[in-house]
Amino acid sequence: MVDKEEIRRRNPIEDVVARFVTLRGSGKSLTGKCPFHDDSRASFVVWPDIGYFRCYAGSCGVEGDVFTFVELMYKVDFREACRILGGEQDARPLPKLTKRPPKVESGPMLSELGPKERQALGLAHRVYHSRLMSMRANSKPRRYLAERCLTVDDVRRFGIGYCTGKDLLPAASFAGVSIPTLQTVGLVVETPEGGWREWLAHRVILPDRDPKGVSYLMGRALSPRATLKYLGLKGVTKPIMGLDSADPKRVTVVLEGIFCAYSLRRRGLQTLAVMGTALRGARAQQLQPFGNIIFVPQNDEPDEDGVRAGDQAVDVWCQEVGKGRVVRLPESIKDVNDLDQAGGLDDWLRTWATWLYRDRS
């Protein structure tokens, strides 16, 4: 059994990344040019305190921990990444890179994990969901979801939860789910004092499902000071949300964010949310079984070079997915959930109704 936390301690993410990328800045976040795409700006951010990295370029979007970084850099699996990082205990240099780094995220997917890990994830989901359902309507998480246009019925139907950071460990102990299992699925991390803390603490929990049950959890921060607005399970590859429960024969709308997906799902549409990860390579391939797909990119402000992430995402869509249709939102609207909040979503959908609801007739 690999001691992931020990390897993490010996390999601070900023040191490992700095072997490949010149990082600038100090304190909470460091930035540099992304090594996984042709980056003209510093789109790549590293957060030493949580041991995480992410590329903010719309066409790339890689993210993960130190293991993910090594897996992507060397195009190796998790086991080999451990070996590479384990070899660093004498501060020997990392082995020389022989191939060009790939541009597609890889890493363990939860569906490859066994029944024990499934059970841990199902338990966490039940704990987080029942916690949210027991909270008052004027509590912060419930108010946040209402602002995002979700009713109590939606919260129940989509299985949304809230992680206080205090509920999971006692529940796991009671249910006989071990801490190493919780750690394998990225639900808990070791603290510097040798205790355990919940990885998704103080976040609204947004689940993904497949036919076997809950298959992934995303955490949305409520605090504006949070390092990352969205955080997935630690060390687990982020799926395309909705993919494993989707019917490829139905009309399917592909969106960036999960709240955009909820806005359409509650209107009876089938959706997939890519959650900030570019649709390249294997991820784009996963969309091939879908016959009728529509991509709705976000509208965002151009950066200092005049580049919009939404436009880049459309280019990637055309190159990598190469089918379906792209539908743009009105210029002044950021995304579908924004339009929902502004009260204009139903009118906008009506203009696409013959396409969107063609599987209903």
Chain positions contacting Zn ion, by CB under 5 A: 34, 36-37, 55, 57, 60
Residues 356 and 352: their CA atoms lie apart, in Å, by 6
Residue number, 62 or 110, with CB nearest to Zn ion? 62
Torsion angle, CA of 145/146/150/151, rounded to 10 degrees? 120
Residue number, 45 or 236, with CB nearest to Zn ion? 45
Of 240, 206, 242, 238, nearest to 221 by C-alpha is: 206
* Least gap, CB of 35 to Zn ion (angstroms): 8
* Least gap, CB of 42 to Zn ion (angstroms): 10
Contact 94, 80 (CB under 8 A): no
* Least gap, CB of 273 to Zn ion (angstroms): 20
* Least gap, CB of 256 to Zn ion (angstroms): 16
Residue number, 210 or 311, with CB nearest to Zn ion? 311
Residues 284 and 142: their CA atoms lie apart, in Å, by 34
* Least gap, CB of 103 to Zn ion (angstroms): 8
Residue number, 60 or 205, with CB nearest to Zn ion? 60
Residues 133 and 221: their CA atoms lie apart, in Å, by 18
Q: Which residue has the tokens 């689940």?
A: 207
Is 346 exposed, middle or buried, given 0-12, 13-18 or 19+ CB atoms closer than 10 A?
A: exposed
* Least gap, CB of 59 to Zn ion (angstroms): 8
Of 235, 203, 199, 237, nearest to 219 by C-alpha is: 203
Of 192, 138, 187, 142, nearest to 165 by C-alpha is: 187
* Least gap, CB of 38 to Zn ion (angstroms): 9
Q: Is 320 helix (H, G, I), strand (E, B) or coil?
A: helix
Phi, psi of 141 (to 5 degrees): -60, -40
Residue number, 222 or 314, with CB nearest to Zn ion? 314
Residue number, 34 or 70, with CB nearest to Zn ion? 34
Residue number, 35 or 242, with CB nearest to Zn ion? 35
